[in-house]
Every structure is written in structure tokens, then in C-alpha cells.
Amino acid sequence: MIYSLYNKERECLSMKKMVTYALAAVVALTAVVSVQGATMQTASAADPYAVSFSGITASAGVNVRSGPGTGYAVVGSIAGNTTVYFAGIEYGTIVNDVFLGKPDPRWYYYYENGVKRYIASAVINGLPPTSQIRPKDRAIAWAIDQVGRTDYNGWCQMFVEHAYGTSGQYASAIAASNALNTGGSLASAPIGSLVFFAPAADNGWYGHVGIYIGQNTMINGRSSVIADNIATSSYFSSRYTGWGNPPSSWPGRY
């Protein structure tokens, strides 16, 4: 049996939102949090990317942390329905979206008195502009939104290509692996890379592939689109063969 994810700490107790790719024009706002200018990225940051955008906190309010994960200290909180102006995104602890229940590794950051502060994307209604983020960010955002779909069963390579805004590039996961797989360890896999698994009878000898989102976890298409922890799954950990970066020509989408 293939095991799936994960029940991470919720960063607030709010229930429902509609996913939007631009913030609604009419929203009840209780406060505004200002953001200072971006500073240099640090080497220890989890794949940071500077981009200016705004989002609205979930109605129950949210935690503010010192780093991109639930293991970092809570350094404050922000009330619900508050507009926050962000300076960029990073990847860290996977948190279930409190509105949709989907696993989200993204953390948004802003600056307070020159210090980075982080809020889980999972408790923010708002996304960076598509045109201003990297292909991997677009691909991961789209892949997260597809969790639960059943029409990619048997089409894992198609799923990762669709996430990256392309199709028909490789006939199967094993074909993509033959072209792209570096053989690198999972510990060295970059966010957004393709993670590959050996051909076997139960995958029709076509192999398997998913999109790596950190914390030993990939989003992949099987009986449903799902996030799987590779390290804790005997099925996936025994068949892992390496990772590879998607071609630079793949644009990503959401």
C-alpha cells in the first residue's frame, strides 16, 4: 500500500475560503500591516523569492513566526481579515490549508523593523502575481490546487507536465527519468524538482514521477492527486531513483 500525508499544525481555526488569483475588490478589512523594503536573501533561507503582493489573513487570525515553519518561534499574531503586504515567498513546513484542507509548503514573508517575519500561505487569501514568480512556484501552486482530482490516475508524467504548463514532452515517467534524472539523493532535491521512481509491474513498467515540495514530500498523480511523504512510505522509499530539474523551457502555471 502507498501511504499518504500528514496532519500538520494548523496556524488558525478559520474554516472556508474561495481560492482567488487576485484579491476580491470588496473585502471587510480590520487593519493594514505595512512592509519595509526587501533585504538580501540569506544562505540559510528555504529557496526564497522576492515578490511584492498582498493577502488577507483568515478570519480567526494567524500566527507570525520567526522562520518558514511551525518549528520556529511565534513572534506575534495578526487579527483576521487583515491585509498584509508581503515581500516574498519561501518554502518550509507543510501546513494544511485551513480553508481547503490541501497541503501547502509555502510561507510568505514581510519585514518588521528590518527583520523577516513569516506567515503560512495556508492561512492567507491571496497569491503572488503569476507573471512575477518562477516556473516552479507556478507549478507547485497549480499542483496544490489539483489535490483530490482523480483524472490523472495512470498519468503521472502528464500531471507534472501540466503543472509546468506543457504537455507531450515525454511519453512516460521512465522516459523523462532517462533524460532528466541526476540520480541525486532526496536530501539534495531542490524545491520544484521532479522526483523519479523505478518501473514496476504495478505502474505498467512506465515508472513514476512527482513534484518535490520539500520535507521529503511530493505531489503526484495516482488514484487521486495527493501529497506523499517519500521517506515514510516503504513503497516510494524503496523505488526512489533520483531527481531532476524540469527543462528551463517549461513555464509553469496556475
- Which pTM does this prediction carry? 0.83
CA distances from 226 to 45, 221, 250 (A): 26, 7, 22
pLDDT reported for residue 42 = 35
Q: Give the pLDDT confidence of 171-180 residue by residue, as tens digits.
A: 999 999 999 9
Q: How far apart are CA 187 and CA 237, in angstroms?
A: 12
Q: Give the pLDDT confidence of 199-231 residue by residue, as tens digits.
A: 999 899 999 999 999 999 999 999 999 999 999
pLDDT above 90 coverage of the chain, percent: 79
Q: How far apart are CA 100 and CA 59, in angstroms?
A: 14
pLDDT above 70 coverage of the chain, percent: 82
pLDDT reported for residue 46 = 85
Q: How far apart are CA 35 and CA 83, in angstroms?
A: 11
Q: How far apart are CA 157 and CA 142, in angstroms?
A: 15
| Sequence-distant (≥ 6) Cβ neighbours of residue 137 within 8 angstroms | 49, 89, 106, 128, 192, 252
pLDDT reported for residue 246 = 98
Q: How far apart are CA 11 and CA 62, in angstroms?
A: 6
For the chain, domains (ranges, CATH) are: 32-132 (2.30.30.40), 137-244 (3.90.1720.10)
Q: Give the pLDDT confidence of 33-91 residue by residue, as tens digits.
A: 433 332 332 334 689 999 999 999 999 999 999 999 999 999 999 999 999 999 999 99
Q: Give the pLDDT confidence of 124-158 residue by residue, as tens digits.
A: 999 999 899 999 999 999 999 999 999 999 999 99
Q: Which of 116, 122, 11 has the alpha carbon at shortest distance from 62?
A: 11
What is the residue-averaged pLDDT of the chain? 85
pLDDT reported for residue 186 = 97
Instruction: Report, as an integer, the average pLDDT of 8-14.
Output: 31
Cell, residue 27: 473585502
Kindly state the helix (H) or strand (E) to which residue 137 belongs, with its residue range. Answer: helix 135-145
